[in-house]
Amino acid sequence: MEANEDIDLIVNHPKKAINKLAAPIIISNLFMILNNIIDGIWVAGVGADALAAIGFVTPLFLTLVGFANGLGAGSNSLIARCIGAEKYEKAGNSAIHSMMLSIIVTIITTILLLIILKPILLMMGAGEVINDASTYGYIVMAGCFSIFIPAMMSAIFRSQGEIKRASYPLMYTAIINMILDPIFIYILNLGVGGAAIATVIAATIPMFLMMYWMFVKRDSFLKIKMSEYKRDLNIYKDILVVGIPASLEQFILSFVSILTNYWLTVLSGTIAVASYTATWRLLSVGFAPLIGIGVASLTVGGAAYGAKNFENMKTAQKYGVKLSLISSIIICLICFTFAEPLSHIFAYSANSAILSQRITEAIRILCFFVLLMPFGIIAGNLFQSMGKGTIALFFTFLRALLLEIIFAGLFGFVLGFKDIGIYAGLVCGMSVGSILSYLYLNYYLKKLKKYFN
């Protein structure tokens, strides 16, 4: 098997590869984020309680997405390292193992979540909106297959440089959901349940397209044939060594979000949760470029590590941070400057007009959350690219579970700034944690240079 143009790009031209890989990921993520914003806009028309209900389910949903993307990161890292080392047969077998793993995880996760969902929502403080939250949650959790399987197929396509096939289905999902939302929420009068149904259907349709590309057309660099599956427990281990820590990272982030919702409920009521939910959806636009560049750096870094090419690894680090910082600064400036008009996106109806001022205040503080995030994202992705998922997990634990919570608790409760203090604490924790993780990445790569030489 000879390397094609996509493989040559990620192995030998790191800057060009990051540009090519990142752009479609950013575009598809922007569509997904736009979809989340529009989804929230349609639900906000039902009322603030409906938006708060989705806000309680959102951390759980993001946990699923993070779990799926974490397993995908493990697959992406392993396959990219195999390709960089020119172990193409192992790369193909790793892709088959990845698909098997996603199917097994989908079945187990779906059954478990349907059993424990309502008690978790009640523990999160969703008692006032439990009916809407349960309705939305049960439908979304039943559609776990539309999260895990596409995420794994995207990782397999991405690891071999087929970024369009990895990213465009996400864009299709967003477009379909934007069309279906008003139909199910208002025309069919299904409310938040309709929003959930639209979400699952919209993710399922592109999944079949990806399955066609992978298992029927089979014109990718890696030819995926499930009949050629050769069980190797070490492959599962290699995927999970990165995948489990990466998944736990998202679990930590979701736990922080759950705790934040609970603290906001205690300090300022469900109206604060609705404001935070709306603000976070708006600011997630700023995450899209950072995530896209970070994932591109993971693929390039994995290939560089497999080929023992230290210069390409440093390029993935420095160029990735440079592009990410430019994006984060622009996003921060736009959000701070236009906070008030942006707030009206979620406060356009009589039922949700009360949210406007609260969202404006939240945007002008939380926009700084994005500012130094590039350092943490690039560090985490490059550790994952080297198969060092536990290091990335440690710094996520340090940043989110310790620093963000400590600062948020200090400003919100001890100093009495309530919801404003919670927001400021999250910003401080993110900033300090991201810088620390990047400094350690620099130290680690200096040690790694001896290994490459």
Residue of 59, 223, 214 lying closest to 126 (CA atoms): 59
For the stretch 83-121, pLDDT in tens is 888 888 888 899 999 999 999 999 999 999 999 999 988
What sign results for the dihedral spanned by CA atoms 64, 68, 74, 77? negative
pLDDT at 1 over 60: no
CA–chain centroid gap for 259, Å, is 19
- Return d(Cα 435, Cα 321) in angstroms, integer: 12
Question: Does 253 or 386 have the greater pLDDT score?
Answer: 386
Model pLDDT, residue 387 = 87
Q: How far apart are the first and last CA of the chain?
A: 28
- Summarize pLDDT for 332-364 with one digit per residue, the tens: 999 999 998 888 877 655 555 677 888 899 999
* Helix, strand and coil percent figures for the chain, each rounded to 5: 85, 0, 15
pLDDT at 51: 77
pLDDT band at 219 (very low <50, low <70, confident <90, very high): confident
Per-residue confidence band for 162, with pLDDT thresholds at 50, 70 and 90: confident
Q: Are 294 and 21 in contact (CB under 8 A)?
A: no
pLDDT above 70: residue 171 = yes
pLDDT value, residue 429: 96
HSE, CB side, 13 Å, CA atoms: give it for residue 246: 33
**Rounded CA gap, 421 and 398, in Å?**
20
> What per-residue confidence (pLDDT) applies to 347?
64
Q: Who has greater pLDDT, 322 or 222?
A: 322
Start-end of H helices in 227-368: 233-268, 270-307, 310-337, 339-343, 356-366
- For residue 350, the model assigns a pLDDT of 52
pLDDT (0 to 100) of residue 145: 94
The more confidently predicted of residues 388 and 348 is: 388
Token reading at 187? 């025309």
